[in-house]
Structure 1
Amino acid sequence: MNPNPKNQHSIKTRFTYRFLRALKQVNTRYTTARSSSSSSARRSLEIKQAANMCMAATVGSKRAWSRAMLSKIRRRRQMVRSRRLKIGNPRRRINSYCGESETEELREIVPGGEGLDTKSLLDETAHYIKCLSTQVEVMKDILHLYSLPVN
C-alpha cells in the first residue's frame, strides 16, 4: 500500500471524473421516465453500481478486489443482455456468530478475497476501505456542491 497522498489525490480525481460522467448518464436515462418509487429505487441501484464500477475502473486490474468487481459487473451486464437476470436476488448475509473467523468474514466482504493468503487479504482490505472512503468523500462533495444556495 502506498501512503503517498499524491497517489490518493490521483485516485480521487480520476474517480470523480468517471463518477460524474456516470451520474450524467443515469440522470439522462431518468429525466424522461416518470418519477415513481420503483424508478427511484432502480435509479439508486444504478448510482450505487456506477460508483462501484467507476472506482474499480479507476484502480484498474492492479488489485484483486477491483478485478473481482469488474468481472462481476461484466457478468451482470451479460446476464441483462441475455435477459436471464432475476430481479430481487437475495443478498448473502454475513453472520459473525456462525463460528467463522474474522479472516473468513473478510474473504466474504472484500471482492476477490476468496483466493488470497492472509497478508494479501489484509492489504486488499486496507486498499478497498481507502477506496470506499474516497467514494464517500466524493459523494459528500458532490452533494455539498449541489445543495449550495443559488444567489
Structure 2
Amino acid sequence: MATPVTPTAPEELYRHSLRLLLDKDIPAWVELFDERAVMEFPFAPEGWPARLEGKAEIVAYMRHYPDRIDLHDFPSVEIHRTIEPGTIVVEMRGVGRLVETGGPFDMTYIAVVTVANGRIASYRDYWNPLALRESAAGFAGSER
C-alpha cells in the first residue's frame, strides 16, 4: 500500500489538516508541523498558553484535544492568500460537541498560517476562548 502524499501548498495542507482534526488523528495533524514550529494564541486568557514553541509543545497541548472537543464539521472555510509566499489567512467555523458536558461546540476562528518546506512553520490562532468557557464551566485550556 502506498504511503499517502501530504500536500505542500498552504491551502491544500490546511484543508488536509482540517480533515485530520475531524478524523481525530492528532498524531498525523501534529506531523504537519515543522520541528521548530510556533503556535500562538493572541487572545489566550490568563492561565492558558499564549505561545507554544516546537513540535513537542504542540504535541503536549493537542494530546487530549479529542477527549475535550468532538469536532463534527467545518461548515465554513474561507482561505485567503497573502502577498507573503507560504502565508494564508483562514476564516472558518468549527462545530461539534464538548465531550465533558455533551453541550454544543460552535466556534469561529481566524488563523494566520505560514508554511515552509511543506510543513506548518507558524500558526496564529485567533479564537475566542471566552466563548468556550461560557459553554463549559471549568474547561481548562491548558488541558485541551
Q: TM-score, normalized by length of structure 1?
A: 0.28
Higher helix share: 1
Higher strand share: 2
Structure number with greater Rg is: 1
